Amino acid sequence: MPTNIAIIGVPSTIGGLALGSERAPGVLRQAGLADRLRAAKLDVTDLGNVPVPAHRRTSGTPQYATTESVARWVYKYAWRALEEEMTPLVIGGDHSAAIGSIAAAAQSVPSLGIVWIDAHPDFNTPASSPTGNIHGMVLAIAAGWGPTSLVRMAGFAPMIHPERIVVVGARSIDAGETNNLREAGVRVFDGEYVERKGMRETIAEAMAYLEANQVKAVHVSVDIDVLDPERYPGVSTPVRGGITAEELLLAAAAVAQSMPVASMDLVEFTPPEDRNGATLEAALGVCTTLLSTKAAQPIAASMAANAS
């Protein structure tokens, strides 16, 4: 049975910076996202965009209620997709869309873990955040840390136990965040680690760690700012350094080969900043690679198949 992908657009910057990431769902569709997925032998259903309330962000004031409203729509769309045995592909907008997609996957998929591929670990709380931007608090919220209305959005908390979360490629970690991550017990394979060990080895270690913690399927959240902004400038919060598109695709393939991907986010792609189109191409590539690469068949299953 071919995998059926449900595209869910979230044209919102309510949790982040208003630099144009709300245009990403439209730009990716226009660039042929669905056709690229179909060419990789995936079935595709485009569920359209979630409703986004009109909003004006007052600088420095976190918009919890509006963020929750958007995340709840994402949650409903993604949950429905999962119920119909589709794989949600949530296209931001800013990273706060992932509050909804993670809530849905955590509710629907047993033994779920998270692979968080991002220049930032997004593990601030309102107390530790230097900016008040909710997109910098999303993984903490998923792990049970932060505003109750968001932490308990799906009615249970944490959405994912911190020991079932890995962060890959982070290279901008706030001081308060470092403490939060350590206290929560989230495993971080930072940018320096990736550089030293190589992406293939890093992902192998990360997936072995998740497997040891009884994870059997993953939600993969890709913040495209994990890429080097000198070559891939189409992001809202660029950080010096970072990986290449080839490394990102290698990471995606390695994750998907080792475990089933239950759902995915592609967030923070910011078309107005994408001067050379390289970020768009990387975004299309990582979605296609992650969703079309299949986990290696379990040994027992492949032996049974050979015997029959």
Q: Which of 94, 228, 247, 268 is catalytic?
A: 268
Examine residue 223 and tell whether it contacts Mn ion (CB under 5 A): yes
Q: Report in angstroms how near the CB of residue 135 gets to Mn ion at its nearest.
A: 6
Distance CA 72, CA 277 (A): 32
Tokens of 85: 């045995």
Q: Which of 22, 68, 118, 163 is catalytic?
A: 118
- Give residues 231-260 in contact with Mn ion (rule: CB under 5 A): none
Q: Which is nearer to Mn ion, 124 or 292 (CB)?
A: 124
Q: Which of 22, 94, 120, 177 is catalytic?
A: 120
Q: Which of 22, 68, 94, 95 is catalytic?
A: 95
User: Which residues on adjacent β-strands are paired with residue 116?
Assistant: 167, 221
Distances (CA, A) of 169 to 39, 40, 45, 237, 247: 29, 26, 31, 15, 11
Q: Which is nearer to Mn ion, 122 or 247 (CB)?
A: 122
If one counts every other C-beta atom within 10 angstroms of the C-beta of residue 157, the result is 19
Q: Which is nearer to Mn ion, 86 or 267 (CB)?
A: 267
Let me know: does 19 contact 272? Beta carbons within 8 Å.
yes
Q: Report in angstroms how near the CB of residue 136 gets to Mn ion at its nearest.
A: 7
Q: Report in angstroms how near the CB of residue 304 gets to Mn ion at its nearest.
A: 41
Q: Which is nearer to Mn ion, 44 or 188 (CB)?
A: 188
Q: Where are the alpha helices (DSSP H) in 130-221?
A: 138-142, 148-151, 175-184, 191-197, 199-212
Q: Which is nearer to Mn ion, 28 or 44 (CB)?
A: 28
Examine residue 22 and tell whether it contacts Mn ion (CB under 5 A): no
Q: Is 195 in a helix, a strand, or coil? A: helix
Let me know: does 28 contact 68? Beta carbons within 8 Å.
no
- Give residues 80-139 in contact with Mn ion (rule: CB under 5 A): 95, 118, 122
Check if 273 is active-site. no
Check if 122 is active-site. yes
Query: Which range of residues in 80-88, 164-172, 218-226, 246-254 is near Mn ion by CB under 5 A?
Result: 218-226
Q: Report in angstroms how near the CB of residue 113 gets to Mn ion at its nearest.
A: 17
Longest dimension (CA), the chain: 64
Nearest Cα neighbor of 268 from 306, 222, 208, 201 is 222
Examine residue 161 and tell whether it contacts Mn ion (CB under 5 A): no
Query: Which range of residues in 11-19, 30-38, 178-186, 223-231 is near Mn ion by CB under 5 A?
Result: 223-231
Q: Report in angstroms how near the CB of residue 131 gets to Mn ion at its nearest.
A: 13
Q: How many residues belong to the site for Mn ion (CB under 5 A)?
A: 4
Check if 135 is active-site. yes
Distance CA 127, CA 111 (A): 30
- DSSP states of 208-270: HHHHHTT--EEEEEEEGGGB-TTT---BSS--SS-B-HHHHHHHHHHHHHHS-EEEEEEE-B-
Q: Which of 223, 228, 265, 274 is catalytic?
A: 223
Query: Which range of residues in 161-169, 176-184, 217-225, 299-307 is near Mn ion by CB under 5 A?
Result: 217-225
Q: Which is nearer to Mn ion, 223 or 228 (CB)?
A: 223
Q: Report in angstroms how near the CB of residue 187 gets to Mn ion at its nearest.
A: 17
If one counts every other C-beta atom within 10 angstroms of the C-beta of residue 36, the result is 18
- Please report, as ranges, the residues that interact with Mn ion according to CB under 5 A: 95, 118, 122, 223
Catalytic positions: 95, 118, 120, 122, 135, 223, 225, 268
